[in-house]
Every structure is written in structure tokens, then in C-alpha cells.
Structure 1
Amino acid sequence: MSTYLAHFKVWRGDPDGGALQDYDVEVNDGEVVLDIIHRLQATQAQDLAVRWNCKAGKCGSCSAEINGRPRLLCMTRMSVFGREDVITVTPMRAFPVIRDLVTDVSFNYAKAREIPAFVPPEGLKPGEYRMTQDDVERSQEFRKCIECFLCQDTCHVVRDHEENKAAFAGPRFLMRIAELDMHPLDAAAEAGLDRKVSAQDEHGLGYCNITKCCTEVCPEHIKITDNALIPLKERVVDRKYDPLVWLGAKIRRRA
């Protein structure tokens, strides 16, 4: 087994401030960055704070930034770096630091609570829902989300503009709205909720300028922009600006 020393710069600090600290850490074949962070904790920095759980790329806990790119520590192999590379590990920039590599992601849970839930069709009980496989496949991709919040972290609307957070749900939760809007059994419209209008007026869909940075960092390879956000934007435009849709809505209101 091949072993070498890698040079790491790891951000250490708390809400009052911090700085990068240098460490030389042993690396073995087949290891990921989280292995090295654990070895660093065991040998040199026992008080280093890092959030993790499954180490299998399915819990979304170990989100951080490696050389400036939002990644999962457990899914970033050391083999993608050269042995002479300096590897910088910092907390997610879009969220407040708690300590070291751990950030406060409660913003995301607050946004999740703002998204109206699935509305069951009237007259159908759980267990009586029926959908075709084509219907299932439309939104099944979005269900792969592990809520690592890397897409939220890399989205420049959130990352670079703190003032936008109040009005913008971010790609993860706009994708959730798109998923519900595509659901053939969602009866939100019948209950008086237009998810397309809600996405635009209440959750900031218009802030998204489809740079696809969220898609690029998704560890589940969900095509967030192409398959969720752009189709949702298209439906919003149809709803607001298509003259036939506008006329139909006027007629229905008068009726």
C-alpha cells in the first residue's frame, strides 16, 4: 500500500473569526478527504469540529468546500489531487459558521417549512392513489436529493447576496415546488394554491438565472436546472404571459 504526506490547509474558527491552519497528514491508497480529516482529528487536532454520519454519500452531512468547490468530504477521493497539491478545506460559505467546518444550515429547514405540502386529491384515501410509470419518472429524479445543501451553498443568489435569503428559497426547494407541480395527483390548484404563482411571487423563482452551478455540484447528479427549474420557469411564463391562458383565466373568474 502506497503512503505519502499531503499538505492540508483547514479552516479553524468560530462565529467571531478564524483562519486557515497548516497540517501535514498521512494519506493511504483509496482514501477520501473525510478519512484524512478523521486522521487529523486523531493525531493532531482532537478538537477539530466536522459534521458527518454515513460516510457513504447518502446522508448529506459532511458538506464543506474543498479548494473552493462545494463537495461532500466522503465522496471526494484523494486520488483526484496530485501528491504535491495543497488541499484547502473550508466550511460552506453561504451559511453561518458554528465552529471549524460545521455550519448552521437552519436556513434550509426554515425554507422547507415554507413550501406547501402535497395536497391529496379529494375523495381518494391513502393507498388508492394510482399513477403511470411515466408520471412517476417525471419527478422520481428529484426524490434522490440527500439534502446536502451543496446546491444552496453554490447558488450565487444565496452565496453572494445575504439580502436575498428572505425572498429566495434556493434551488433545492424550488426543485421541490417543481416536483409537486409535476405530480399528477397533487390537488393544490383545486384547493386554491397555484404552485407556479407561489414559486414566482413567494419563493423567488425569478432570482434564478439558470447558471447551472447547482447542477454541477449535486452529488446525486440531479439535473436541477434542466429538469426542474427551467421547466418551472416555462410554466410560470405560460401562466403569466400566454394570451390564451390569460384570457381563459379572465373568463373563469367572471364565471
Structure 2
Amino acid sequence: MSYEATFRVWRGDADGGELTDFQVEVNDGEVVLDVVHRIQATQAPDLAVRWNCKAGKCGSCSAEINGRPRLMCMTRMSTLPAGETVTITPMRTFPVLRDLVTNVGFNYQKAREIPAFIPPQGVKPGEYRMQQEDVNRSQEFRKCIECFLCQDTCHVVRDHEENKPAFAGPRFLMRIAELDMHPLDAAADSGLDRKKTAQEEHGLGYCNITKCCTEVCPEGIKITDNALIPLKERAVDRKYDPLVWLGNKIGLRRG
């Protein structure tokens, strides 16, 4: 079964643009990206859109569909209100390059600022051993496809451009949390306090745990509950608990 739908797509570049309407055929079982490709093929061959796998694993086709950050390849037309105009705009948090394509370089810059896993002294890679519970806890965060929808929807940077230099965003605070939870990460032995740097260098305190990042994650990662809140608790515990402070001073407790 097929039907006609109205798509309202943002067209333009860094200098400005506007929403343009397209009447386009939609077939049963299609996703939004299918329809965008049909618009390219039949009406707007110069429409810029970023995509790759069309299977929800590369994170390339992020956009805002009816105002909500989503992957176009994972948004079925059947889930959108029937008969209503489908509005597609680029991710609002990042600078527009052209049409639906944005410059997400901010995210790669933040990724470079986070120190990588630091292996323990005297243990070769093939000799790493972890409890299955620890593997399971951090494995969830490894599901991230870096679509940057969580970064896009986070109002700390979405509504406040001035916060970008001081705030890594949920995707990369989650990365810090993963490393801080890793039982083999030897950051502390090298003088790196991941909890302290999360708070002082990557803006953990800016996050007010509204869970908007979790709501848009296409992989269903519980970013707020399983990464950001525990990281906040550990950071506060280390900084403000007088017993922890005393224990650290006399060497009774680390990490």
C-alpha cells in the first residue's frame, strides 16, 4: 500500500535557509530515510543528507524529525502521525553545513580531550582479567554508535552555545564514567583522577540529569541512570565527604 505524504525539509547552509515542502509517495514499511532518498531521486537531487549503513549502526543519518532528534533510518513512517506533515531539520546543536548535514566536529574535539584507558603496570594485554559483572556493567556503554543525538538534545549545549568549551556532553561524560568504572584502568596510579577531571575539566556539574539524553538514545543506553548519576555520586563523595577526604589523605582509600 502506498500513499502521498507531505515532507517539510530544511534547505540551506550556514548563511540561512528555509523549510521546503515536498509531496512524495510513501510505501508500506518504509523509514524516513527511504522517503528522503526518494525526494533526492525525483525532486531535489542536490539535497544534502548524511547516511551510510541504513541499519541503525553507523549513526550517520541523525536529524530532527518533527522536532525530536532521531535516526532517519530507524524511524518508520508508520510510527508518525498519519496525514500530518513530516518536518525534517538538521541537528540544532551543531553548525549547519548544508541542508540536513551538520558539522559534528565539536564531538571529536571533546573525544580527544579525554585521556584513554591506561593499562596497569606489569600486565600484558593478553593477561587482562575482569569479573563478568564488571564486563557487563561497562559493555552497555560500548553499544554507543556515536550518532550524537544525546549531544544534540542536551539542553546544556543546545540552548547555551557558551557552555560548549566547558562541557563535554553526555556521550563523553559516559566515556569517562566507563573508564572510571573499569577495574583495570590505572589512571590513579599515573596521577590522573578521572572523577576530578570530569567535574573540573569536562563540566559534569552542568548536567542536571533530566534524562533527555537517555530518551533519544537509539541503542537504549541508560546514559543518565547508569553512567552520569553514578559518576556524579563518586565525584561528590570524593570531594565533599570528610571521611573519604581523610582516608585519601592517610592512604586508607583510593578511587
Indicate the TM-score class for this superposition, using the shorter chain for normalisation: over 0.9
Percent sequence identity is 82
State yes or no: 1:179 paired with 2:178. yes
Supply the distance in 2 between the matched residues of 1:29 and 1:249 (Cα, whole angstroms).
62
**Runs of 4+ in structure 1 over 3 Å off:** none
Match of 1:216 in 2: 215
Deviation at 1:82, TM superposition (A): 3.1
The equivalent residue for 2:60 is 61
- With the length of structure 2 as denominator, give the TM-score of the two structures: 0.98
- Paired with 1:202 and 1:3, the residues of 2 have a C-alpha distance of 52
Partners of 1:4 and 1:83 within 8 A in 2: no
| Partner AA of 1:212 in structure 2 | K
SS in 2 for 1:165: helix
Alpha-carbon displacement from aligned partner over 1:8-56 (angstroms, at most 9, x marks no partner) = 1000000000000000110000000000000000000000000000000
CA distance in 1: counterparts of 2:237 and 2:77, whole angstroms: 47
Deviation at 1:248, TM superposition (A): 1.8
Structural RMSD (CA)? 0.9
State the partner residue of 1:164. Answer: 163
Instruction: Write the distance in 2 (CA, Å) between the matches of 1:186 and 1:252.
Output: 19
Q: Structure 1 counterpart of 2:126, which letter?
A: G
Deviations 1:62-99 (A, max 9, x none): 00000000000000000012331110000000000000
Unaligned runs of 5+ in 2: none
CA distance in 2, matches of 1:82, 1:135: 42
Cα distance between partner residues in 2 of 1:184 and 1:82: 47
* TM alignment of 1:172-211, pairs within 5 A: 172-211=171-210
1:87-166 paired onto structure 2 within 5 Å: 87-166=86-165
Amino acid at match of 1:56: A
Secondary structure of the residue aligned to 2:188 is coil
Q: Which AA in structure 2 matches 1:52?
A: W
Unaligned runs of 5+ in 1: none
Q: Aligned partners of 1:164, 1:97: CA distance in 2, in Å?
A: 19
Match of 1:9 in 2: 8
* Distance (whole Å) between structure 2 residues aligned to residue 52 and residue 250 of structure 1: 52
Match of residue 33 from structure 2? 34
Helix, strand or coil for the counterpart of 2:229? helix
Q: C-alpha separation between the residues in 1 aligned to 2:7 and 2:139?
A: 39
The answer to whether residue 38 in structure 2 is matched with residue 50 in structure 1 is no
Task: Count residues in correspondence.
Answer: 252
Q: Distance in 2 between matches of 1:80 and 1:252?
A: 56
Q: Which moved more, 1:94-103 or 1:76-85?
A: 76-85
Q: Aligned letter for 2:103?
A: D
Question: Aligned with 2:189: secondary structure?
Answer: coil
Counterpart amino acid of 1:3? Answer: S
TM-score under structure 1 normalisation? 0.98
SS in 2 for 1:25: strand
The answer on 1:246 being equivalent to 2:209 is: no
Counterpart of 1:249 in 2: which secondary structure?
A: helix
Q: For structure 1, which segment, 27-36 or 74-83, has the greater mean C-alpha deviation from structure 2 after superposition? A: 74-83
